[in-house]
Amino acid sequence: MLKEKNPALIIGVGGCVASQEGEHIRSRAPCVDVVFGPQTLHRLPEMINHVQGTRSPIVDISFPEIEKFDRLPEPRAEGPCAFVSIMEGCNKYCTFCVVPYTRGEEVSRPSDDVLFEIAQLAAQGVREVNLLGQNVNAYRATTYDGDICTFAELLRLVGAIDGIDRIRFTTSHPIEFTDDVIAVYEDTPELVSFLHLPVQSGSDRILTMMKRAHTALEYKAIIRKLRKVRPNMQFSSDFIIGFPGETQADFEQTLKLIAEVNFDASFSFIYSPRPGTPAAEMIDDVSEEEKKQRLYILQDRINQQVLQFSRRMLGSVQRILVEGTSRKNVMELAGRTECNRMVNFEGSPEMIGQFVDVEITEVWAHSLRGTVVRTEQQMDLRVYKSPQSVITRTRKENALGVGIYQP
């Protein structure tokens, strides 16, 4: 109907589902002109030009390796926090997950390019970076000298960039959380004391069926090592409820792990099969009613732990990176603690983009309220412009605004 009104309209379908379905999308909906996957998003301008020039459809769901990272637009800060993609894809092939099939296997972005982008963002006022990847701690990339930069080394290099005061990363896999990464928590204060480390289940039997390649004990060993170097370390995790074959005993093992680790947040989901994955071929023998009941119990246990953490913060002084005005009250400001809690407080606009110390006066399950007791000017923080030695290369953009890689 839209194309009947506007024949020049170009309709595109992109993302993980598009990567899975490919040509089938056009067979079901011939009006679609462009089909592209997550790894070919950077080619979208050329695809649009192709359709405009030839009036013929195009499907590109390939997995070009490093090409995508070579054609990123110039980084532009949109506040004091920024997300930086450092790798894509996953080699783990968990039985429930479509990522390896829709995003391809692991491809790491050259470390020099990552540092270059972060330095540019720091020069624009970014104070916190969140390093992104489907399996981010599997990062291993080449440098322009031909050496290999590990994830642990990258974290230290990012922490050395002037102006970057906080580093987060997501999402991690337990089997890649090696001792060299844990050691970074000892000597890199910019790395926050909060980690999202998905476990999915506390049952070794279910973990084996999921092809997670670790046990619950091995997961807890990582937690213990991290809390040894950072006693106040807090964790969040992912849980899949009602995976095929999950018994009540398996679920009880998950609750046991939750009690032992004491999580500060979680993302928990009822299992649903993803087409094309090995788990989709398993018998889904847990009833929907049972799944919902288990999910409710698990979320209730996690929420109790979250509230306990919140109550412990009452009366404490927390360092907040001010992100902007509060969603609850535009006359107030809001920012996050190191452990990722949102705090609302009264303040002045010039505080946005800076750190303030806030005494917590009210606590809720997922947000806090407080009073400013110290501004950034009263702190001894290292605040400089990003060093030009890092920003030694420049990128230019073509007419479509796409970055052109220049070594």
Residue 299 has pLDDT above 90, yes or no: yes
Q: Look at residue 406 in the predicted model and tell me its pLDDT.
A: 39
CB atoms within 10 A of CB 329: 11
The model's pLDDT over 330-340, given as tens digits with 9 standing for 90+, comes to: 889 999 999 99
Please report the pLDDT score of residue 65 as a whole number.
58
pLDDT: which is higher, 30 or 133 = 133
pLDDT in tens, 367-383: 899 999 999 988 877 55
Question: What is the arithmetic mean of pLDDT over 240-267?
Answer: 98
Q: Which CATH architecture has domain 314-378?
A: Beta Barrel (2.40)
Q: Quote the percentage of the chain above a pLDDT of 70.
A: 90
**Phi (first) and psi of residue 29, to 5 degrees:** -135, 85
pLDDT score of 66: 55
Query: Is the pLDDT confidence value at 404 over 50?
Result: no
Residue range 35-92, pLDDT digits in tens? 888 777 778 888 888 888 887 888 887 766 555 566 566 778 889 999 999 998 899 9
Report CA torsion sign: 66, 72, 77, 78. negative
Q: What is the pLDDT of residue 330?
A: 86
pLDDT tens string 129-156: 999 999 999 999 988 888 999 999 999 9
What is 69-312's CATH number, 3.40.718.10, 3.80.30.20, 3.30.1600.10, 1.10.10.10?
3.80.30.20
The C-alpha atoms of residue 197 and residue 150 are separated, in whole angstroms, by: 19
Q: Is the pLDDT of residue 398 over 90?
A: no
Residues of the chain with CATH 3.80.30.20: 69-312
> What percent of the chain is predicted at pLDDT more than 90?
66
Residue range(s) occupied by CATH 2.40.50.140 in the chain: 314-378
Q: What's the pLDDT at 27?
A: 82
Q: What is the pLDDT of residue 394?
A: 44
3-state SS assignment for residue 226: helix
Q: At 283, phi and psi to the nearest 5?
A: -75, 120
Cα distance between residue 315 and residue 347, in whole Å? 19
Q: Quick one: pLDDT band at residue 403, thresholds 50, 70, 90?
A: very low
Cα 159 → chain centroid: 18
Q: How far apart are CA 173 and CA 181, in angstroms?
A: 12
Rounded to whole angstroms, the Cα distance separating 342 from 321 reads 10
pLDDT (mean) for 311-327:
95
Q: Name the band, by pLDDT with cuts 50, 70 and 90, for residue 395.
A: very low
In this predicted structure, the answer to whether residue 33 has a pLDDT above a threshold of 90 is: no
Mean pLDDT value of segment 198-211? 98
What pLDDT does 407 receive? 36
Q: How much is the pLDDT for 372? A: 97
Q: What integer is the mean pLDDT of 159-172?
A: 95
Q: What is the pTM of this model?
A: 0.83
Mean pLDDT on 338-361: 95
